[in-house]
Structure 1
Amino acid sequence: MTTFTPAIPEDVLSVVQWAAGEEMPLEICGHGSKRGIGRPVQAEHTLDLSQLSGVTLYEPAELVLSARAGTPLAEIETLLKLSNQELAFEPLDYGPLLGGERGRGTIGGVLAANLAGPRRLKAGAARDHILGISAVSGRGEAFKAGGRVVKNVTGYDLSKGVAGSWGTLAAFTDVTFKVLPAAETETTLVVRGLLDDLAAAAMAVAMGSSAEVSSAAHLPEGIAKTVADGILGSEPATLLRVEGFGPSVAYRLGHLKQLLAAAGEMQELEHETSKALWRDVRDCIPFADGSDLPVWRLSLAPASAHAFVLALRMRAAVSAFYDWQGGLVWLRMEAGEPEAETVRTLIKQFGGGHATLVRASMPVRASTDIFEPQPPALAALSARLKAEFDPKNILNPGRIVAGAH
């Protein structure tokens, strides 16, 4: 097995051209923080992009940053913080959940996995902030899409199209993201003691109000104590984040308290404490237990998420918590089996959604549909896209669909 570690985009092109010519499959990775997601890649050789690193353009006044694909996300976030800016979609870090360290992910991996965090409902995901890419397709052809300005979209936006492709369509060499000013301050209003259904109702009221809540999550009993060094205790905690200028935050918090006055006991967490709390929610720290118990990441209609979890608990031992106002559900299967058929059947019964198995043992990953199976029409479109970008199936083969892409 050979590991290629190119340090410049031209070397990435050379490696992929060789692989395409020899029909040698390649596993594409950065620092490997998300390597455990997806089916085991069917490749003997690795294209390691971790040395393809460095910020190549940062113009704070223009809200634009470009970097090599292997640049650590932590490095980029540190640079942005110096100018009081951020990636507004606050990409999650899968490292702790998969038994690794925080801060190992790369900016190319952010786009490849289309990452997002608790601010997803307000700020979107990586695909909503990407401006341009440089990449090498499985044909061994270098290409560019988009650009370095915020308004530069004509026709089909290929930069968004490759978001979430998990390295199966192209190897990114450079990416350009839109950045935004960071909020002056933030406060999290914590409502204590709500059961899942009442928490769903409270989050719906908050998100539908004029308080401009940027994030809403619910941590059931026992889950709450696992975040932010246990500051919340074991009692259920419904979290509502308000961000912006100090006086505005104070005013909107007051409005929120009035709306939810009958919901239960409340407390406020400010500044760094609030930030630490949302980092732990973002990175699924409640289930970052060092085990390989299966963990699912579900997208559901927020109004039906708590009912789905209750129905699932009638069939399997499961722990759960909610982000995105309930639209994102994290599940840990306590008996060690993924129960994929049960999970996906119930999702259909509760209005539809998507389920991704983000953590499991190697044997389970090899025998389970990790990503939500696509309807026939969409699967056919994906197959045509794969054939166009990677006709010889050399880029991360088998990661998404066994024997294909």
Structure 2
Amino acid sequence: MTTDIVTPENADQVRDMVAWAVDSQAPLNVQGHGSKAGLGRAVNIGTTLDLSRLSGITEYSAPELVLTAQAGTPMTDIHAALADAGQHLAFEPPDLTGLLGGDPGRGTLGGLVATNLAGPRRVQVGAARDHFLGCQAVGARGEIFKAGGKVVKNVTGFDLCKLLAGSYGTLAVMTELTLKVLPAPEDTRTVLVLGASDADAARCMSRALTSSHEVSGAAHMPAAAASACEAEAVSSRGTSVTLIRVEGPGPSVEYRAKALCRELADFGETVEVGSGESRLAWAAVRDVQPLTEPLDRPVWRVSVAPTEGPGVVDALRRQSGSVDCLYDWGGGLVWLSLENGDVAGQAERVRNAVAHAGGGHATLVRAAADVRAAVPVFHPQPEPLAALSRRLKDNFDPARVLNPGRMAEGL
């Protein structure tokens, strides 16, 4: 299919392009650098609205903990500017380009918020939408509007920003975004617990997260995932590895790490690693690096109660054979790499396992385009919630011109 690409340079040009799309009944594929094109349903849209020229940090006040940048600003630029000031995006944005088969580092700020991605620190600080303060956007009726503000303490009426975060560009085209930033931790240490089974690791992570030690990350790699991890501190162990992270002032981090080593010794041998090794290990967890290869295997993102994840994995292994996995968020997030084959049948098995585990949701993150066009990528919604989603789309984008079908058919 031939695709026309338009590259506006400012919000006014975006508005003109959206107005043309409505008048012409020509849907738009809204994207930045295209690093997340493999997320969501695969759709064939003839015109791409490329926001990569809307780039640059427009305002950054380190003392006020607020950063504003255009939607097409590369995340590498955002991270570099924050690092220079000793700050960071606390929700730990993942870079899934390796998992999706692309070149790392190509993501943009707009794409990050549009997909509401967050890394291991979500258990402590929340998701991207919890740090999203305000934006300028273009609605599907051809108007420029603003939502939220540029201050951390911003109390208004309906929080439209929370709705746009995670909408995959189906409700409006964000052109400029403001996010809350925070000081980067002074020190980081990770306690590794070696040899725990998945079920024991879930209990270990629960104990750590409910302790008084302010744990900022809890993940578990079974032996296969640990051996594939790029962080040598993990891959060299020759067994499963459970990772517990503490951050903050140096003396406090040192004390809490040693206390966790003692308190978690019931689950296996404990090893403490320092800041440099910790960063490598948590980057691997954040980006799901151990499940990157082989690239032709479907990858699922499953959210269940933290204690139920091992049961979901066991059920799928009994039905589907080979299952590689990685647990994050204290076990509440389970990444699954399954054998390639009948993905439609696989989807039914995965979602049945989630239902039998007491509920949750399963998202197909990686699969061929034809599969993502045929299989529901996002967990099917109960009818009342699906009806609400349709009403939102009807109100925000009645002409169905903004990424139509990206999240579900008709949306």
TM-score clears 0.5: yes
Q: Which moved more, 1:17-26 or 1:287-296?
A: 287-296
The size of the alignment, in residue pairs, is 404
Are 2:328 and 1:323 aligned? Answer: yes
Partners in 2 of 1:369 and 1:261 — Cα distance? 43
Residue 284 of structure 1 is matched in structure 2 by 288
Residue 407 of structure 2 is matched in structure 1 by 400
5+ residue gaps, structure 2, are none
Are 2:82 and 1:80 aligned? Answer: yes
Residue 174 of structure 2 is matched in structure 1 by 172
Correspondence list, 1:115-264, <5 A = 115-232=117-234, 233=236, 234-264=238-268
Residue type of the partner of 1:235?
T
Residue 222 of structure 1: SS of its match in structure 2?
helix
Residue 107 of structure 1 is matched in structure 2 by 109
Give the C-alpha shift of residue 385 in structure 1: 0.7
Residue type of the partner of 2:5?
T
Partners in 1 of 2:339 and 2:380 — Cα distance? 24
The 8 Å contact of residues 29 and 47 in structure 2, kept in 1 or not, is answered as: yes
Partners in 1 of 2:293 and 2:263 — Cα distance? 36
**How large is the RMSD of aligned CA atoms in angstroms?**
1.1
Residue type of the partner of 1:366?
A
5+ residue gaps, structure 1, are none
Pick the aligned partner of 2:301 from 281, 297, 303: 297
Give the C-alpha shift of residue 41 in structure 1: 2.2
Partners in 1 of 2:194 and 2:337 — Cα distance? 23
Partners in 2 of 1:153 and 1:35 — Cα distance? 34
Residue 338 of structure 2 is matched in structure 1 by 333
Residue 171 of structure 1: SS of its match in structure 2?
strand
Partners in 2 of 1:51 and 1:77 — Cα distance? 19
Correspondence list, 1:360-399, <5 A = 360-399=367-406
The 8 Å contact of residues 188 and 239 in structure 1, kept in 2 or not, is answered as: yes
Identity %, equivalent residues: 52
Partners in 2 of 1:290 and 1:95 — Cα distance? 14
Structure 1 residue runs of 4+, over 6 Å off?
A: none
Are 2:60 and 1:70 aligned? Answer: no
Instruction: State the TM-score, normalized to the length of structure 1.
Output: 0.98
Give the C-alpha shift of residue 314 in structure 1: 0.7
Give the C-alpha shift of residue 336 in structure 1: 3.4
Partners in 1 of 2:336 and 2:214 — Cα distance? 28
Partners in 1 of 2:140 and 2:379 — Cα distance? 24
The 8 Å contact of residues 135 and 177 in structure 2, kept in 1 or not, is answered as: yes
Partners in 1 of 2:160 and 2:289 — Cα distance? 33
Partners in 2 of 1:396 and 1:290 — Cα distance? 29
Residue 379 of structure 1: SS of its match in structure 2?
helix
Partners in 1 of 2:250 and 2:28 — Cα distance? 50
Partners in 1 of 2:185 and 2:158 — Cα distance? 32
Residue 310 of structure 1 is matched in structure 2 by 314
Residue type of the partner of 2:335?
W
Give the C-alpha shift of residue 261 in structure 1: 2.2
